[in-house]
Chain A
Amino acid sequence: MSASPVLKIEGLRTDFRIGRHAISAVDDIDLVIPAGETLALVGESGSGKSVTARSVMRLLPRKLGMIAAGSVWFTGKDGQTRDLTKLDEDAMRSVRGREIGMVFQEPMTSLNPVFTVGEQIAEPLRVHSGATHSAALRTAIELIGRVGIPDPAKRAQQYPHELSGGMRQRITIAMALVCDPVLLIADEPTTALDVTIQAEILELLRKLQRERKMAMLFVTHNLGVVAEIAQRVAVMYAGRIVETGPVAEVFAAPRHPYTIGLLHSLPRLGQGSAMRRAGVRLPSIPGVMASIADMPKGCQFAPRCGFAADPCRVEIPPLAEVAAQRRARCIRWREIAA
């Protein structure tokens, strides 16, 4: 294993322009992903998880979103470490697809309806490594088989609309992996799929990652999916990481009140009817997340937090170390842990 992590984000802040103002959509993001590891970025809508992932890929809406501070250190196939925020667009284009693979939520919109799926998987290979058309197509067909689609030679000649949603997502995964990237960024790749298909796709991603020893940044809103796919998790709320650490530890003993609330409000299979009979309600987090344009002073979660006290409303708490490899953005984490 190489000494430098594949991805190291330091102090990332991404601003969005709203009218004449710049508003930070994400701020103070620090993340490290070594080779062979999966980090899940979990949070609710508007928490900034997708903006973080898109900042790494430099795929922010032009003129509206921009990286305002921080660095994204990426160690490529050649072992060189570069700050992606400093690359020009041409250099960035040779990183995307070749060094960093990407899978998005909606397979139908990431595929081009007028090309066969075989051609689409082969394209990055032709562009990035100058493979011939027939060699690239051969690799594509092999990869279609590897992502678990039967009869790959025939499937390669089909168009996206001829495939089911689950199969299309397998195709976008093949497309992301065709150049052997060292990092895979997956943004809600199973959210649009039914649970039985989701389970298959997660299994596939796990298998491929193990085989290729890729690093993976996995964005999701689903805590169950996090437990299935990732070794480490970063929980985001209102544009900041509020808790991070190994998944098993964070889920077993969360230290941030938001993580605690999120885990409690998740309906769990096999408990509902007993709770209903006992007249017990599902614990919920009161209120709604403040808009990024109108953040409260101090801890952003304080207005919804059962533990909030006056000091919480003064300034944004630092991400404090609460145990080895674990951090939480809460000044009262010691009391919560007790």
Chain B
Amino acid sequence: MVPVKATQRETLGGLTLPSKFRALRQQLGQAVTPYLFLVPGLILFAAFILLPMAYSFRISFYDWNIIRPERSEYLELKNYQDIIEWPIFRRAVVNTLAYAAVTVPAQIILGLGLALLLNQKIPGQTFFRTVYYLPVITSWVIVTLLFEYLFNSQAGLINYWLQRAGIIDDPVRWFADEKLAMVPIHLLGIWKGLGWTAVVMLAGLQSIPRVLYEAAAVDGADVWAQFRRITLPLMRPTLVFLLVFLTIGALNVYISGLLLTDGGNPLDRTHFVLTLMYEETFDYFEFGRGAAISYLLTGLVFLISLVQIRLLQREIEY
């Protein structure tokens, strides 16, 4: 049926399309088709990823006027210089690095412990895994508000329990003090990320061949020796991946800081780099300074990831 139709169409008007042309058309179609599949994605990618990257870089050198961009004043490196010397920014960098330094190792150590517990053949494994994953799938906004309530100074569960246990005498006003405010923020970061870390570790643990442990046990290696000689070395790629990934995530801490301390309360001393970036940009409309902060954070993230990867790779090579 089909070939007949095709011939009919091609002989229309008394002309026969030579097979050469048909082949050419087919070839052309083959060359174009892949790009047709790519076009929608590439347009989006260019408009909302590639263009913004360049745009943002340009803005960071200007006192950007969002109503009339053509009136923006070119400042060369002034935005960057000002921000680097700005005490509130420096404080925000320290807070952000401290957040990473506390929450990343805590998640890795606790996550490894949890994964080792879950990796045993025990009844209810799926149940435990499901529950531990609950904070991961709950949105940052919800868990942050939940922690705000738990650490509430008037009637929060945490204050009540600490008082009952005799650790504190009077309710603590967690969010009124720059150091104390970091306690719930850090705990939240660990609590929320633990399930994900454990599941990634579990995947790593399950890829280690059982035979290795059996052979080691035959040779008389105890559990600790097996952990040090088999588990840790074979888990290294997973651990490096987690270290880099969790650090990037931690340096981008934002929602918990924004909601728990209203950005930087008290006195702009609890800012993280991102809460400061958003405040500068969308509250004070300092788009140029905001863009400069975002590039500084990106640079910091790149640098730290690079150092981590290089250091750990060298260790693998011995």
Partners in one complex: no
Task: Tell me the A residues contacting B by CB distance below 8 Å.
Answer: none
